[in-house]
Homo-oligomer: A and B are copies of this chain.
Amino acid sequence: MDEFALINRFFRTAANAAGPGVKLGPGDDAAILSPTPGCELVMSMDTLIAHRHFPADLPAADVGWRSLAVNLSDLAAMGARPRWALLSLSLPQADADWVAEFARGFGELASSSGCVLVGGDTVRGPLAITVQVTGEVPAGEALLRSGASVGEQVCIGGVPGEAAAGLAAWQHGTRSGALVDRLARPAPQLALGERLRGVASACIDISDGLLADLGHLVTESGVAGATVHLPALPVSAALAAAGDETARQTWQLSGGDDYLLLFAWPAGRPLPDGCHAIGHFSADVGIRVLDAGGQPVEVARSGWNHFADASSEGHRP
């Protein structure tokens, strides 16, 4: 199968190119799209490299899902509604079965999130996927990282650490279950992102780890620091069963890939369902983690970093 046939087959099956706002989908030099009057565009792009951002033996459908999910999570963190995606696939060879499975997983999430695949590119090269997404938000209403104030609550949209526990399970040979699903098929919190607009003063999605991403909120907001109360971190049954307290603490505080929203929320205001207050922004310098007795907890590592950690050629964290 030649390149063009591969691209066409892929795009025409994965994409419902006649979606809303899509004037021209794949097949020309570029896509033509009609933005919604009164909205701003929100754009993000992320690359996933095999072995590094996902296990090399992750099923192709999960790779497809995941490559879109990590991008949609950025839109969720801005409170934006997904509209359109572009995809660049770098493949070692034209493996039609792999591409079909990839397209299936990508398409499942695209459909359920209202995101239309409108174009892209297929090249021969090392296995890598780049996805660009565009969302829309009513003008002026996007959530930024930069609005948190001292005294506001630090809140999270679910149970952190499950993806890291899923990765640990994967590395020990487990290929299914709730934790592995969290790693393989992260669910971008799009509805929550829209729900937070107008109330949350700052928001980010957790990709580097809870403490690392909390650090981004602190830095971008220009507050001195934040405190996290360890006993306030929600724990699921699956997470509780997956490892001892030390492992769980590391997964929860430093594990990446959860793609939960982490946000600043006014004190005393009821939280959206499924969200948890885990600390507060403070006038004390730095990020502190306190145990049940109010004592500071030492944390092994504060987040993943591609270039700083040459020992981790596998995948993060």
B residues in contact with A42, CB < 8 Å: 30-33
A78 contacts the other chain (CB 8 A): yes
Number of copies: 2
Q: Are A125 and B125 in contact (CB under 8 A)?
A: no
A181 contacts the other chain (CB 8 A): no
B residues in contact with A4, CB < 8 Å: 305
B residues in contact with A75, CB < 8 Å: 29-30
A306: which of B28, B84, B124, B139 is its contact (CB, 8 Å)? Answer: B124
- A27 (CB) vs chain B CBs: closest residue: B220
B residues in contact with A88, CB < 8 Å: 45-47, 130
Q: Are B46 and A30 in contact (CB under 8 A)?
A: no
Interface-lining segment among A100-108, A113-121, A274-282: A113-121
Q: Are A47 and B77 in contact (CB under 8 A)?
A: no
Q: Mark A1-37, 1 if CB is under 8 A from B, else 0.
A: 1111010000000000000000110011111111101
B residues in contact with A1, CB < 8 Å: 307
Interface-lining segment among A142-150, A157-165, A230-238, A242-250: A142-150
Q: Are B134 and A43 in contact (CB under 8 A)?
A: yes
B residues in contact with A271, CB < 8 Å: none
A78-135 CB contacts (< 8 Å) to partner B: 78, 80, 84, 86-88, 90, 93-94, 118-126, 128, 130, 132, 134-135
29 contacts between A and B (CB under 8 A): A3-B306, A3-B308, A24-B144, A28-B78, A28-B146, A28-B220, A29-B205, A31-B44, A32-B41, A32-B42, A33-B41, A35-B35, A35-B41, A44-B86, A45-B86, A45-B119, A45-B130, A47-B88, A47-B121, A47-B123, A49-B124, A49-B125, A52-B124, A86-B132, A90-B128, A94-B307, A124-B306, A126-B126, A128-B128
